[in-house]
Amino acid sequence: MSKLALSGAQVNPGDQLFSLATLERVWITVDIYEDDLSRVRAGQTLEAVTLAYPDEVFTGVVNRISPNLDPNVHTLQVLCQIDNPGERLKPQMMARVRIVTRPGAALVVPQTALVFEGNKYYAFVLTGPNTVERRTVQIATWNDHGYARVVSGLRPGERIIVRKSLQLDALWRQAHGQSS
């Protein structure tokens, strides 16, 4: 609680005189990448884990999604309301948040299958018994399990080279007269 009113001070309509706060429910601001925006909606449930209580999961809901995109990192802020039993969560604590979404179909490949060169990603696709095609792919996100989500350049069911992609890329570039 904070008291902003002073005895004898002039008060105008709309002035805030008192601020009451409780920690029974807290707000968490979460940054999400723009390519995840289509899967996040107000009202979705979420789970938060803090450094202070790593074995405890705090639950809540997505309350509001910011209309503003940060152009530097391509993220939006999501305001979430979290239940805080025992009032253990405190202002400015860090939390890892998992927003529960419906699973969707995605094409993912091991990160080891991708070669990055000249601001583009490439994958090697087996197009026949003895033929390989170097193809430009566009990816959306990495995950911490070693996979990347592919947006374009590959189709479900295509076979790709997943190991020694850098060595294969060097051989491909040499065969096509490109220097390293």
What is the pLDDT tens value at each position of the chain, 180 positions in all? 556 666 777 777 777 766 556 778 888 899 988 878 888 999 999 999 999 999 999 999 999 999 998 888 888 999 999 988 888 888 888 999 998 877 777 788 999 999 998 889 999 999 988 888 999 999 886 766 788 889 899 999 999 989 888 888 888 888 887 765
Is residue 175 within a helix (H) or strand (E), and if so which, with residue range?
A: helix 165-175
- In-domain check, residue 4: no
Instruction: For residue 160, give the DSSP letter.
Output: E
pLDDT, residue 146, reads 85
Predicted pLDDT at 80: 92
Q: Tell me the β-bridge partners of 116.
A: 121
CATH number at 170 reads 2.40.420.20
Domain end: 99, 130, 155, which one?
A: 99
Domain termination site, one of 99, 130, 164:
99
Tokens of 63: 């309350």
**What CATH number should be reported for the domain holding residue 73?**
2.40.30.170
Q: Is 71 inside any structural domain?
A: yes
Contact 105, 149 (CB under 8 A): no
In a domain, 135, yes or no: yes
With respect to residue 2, please indicate whether it lies within any of the assigned structural domains. no
- Predicted local confidence at residue 77, as pLDDT: 92
Domain count for the chain, please give it: 2
pLDDT computed for residue 90 by the predictor: 87
Q: Is residue 164 part of a domain?
A: yes
Q: Are residues 141 and 95 in the same domain?
A: no
Q: Indicate whether 156 belongs to any domain.
A: yes
pLDDT for res 62 = 94
> For residue 26, what are the domain limits?
19-99
**Residue carrying the six token digits 């190991």:** 163
Question: Do 36 and 53 belong to one domain?
Answer: yes
Residues 90 and 113 in one domain: no
What pLDDT was estimated at residue 85?
86
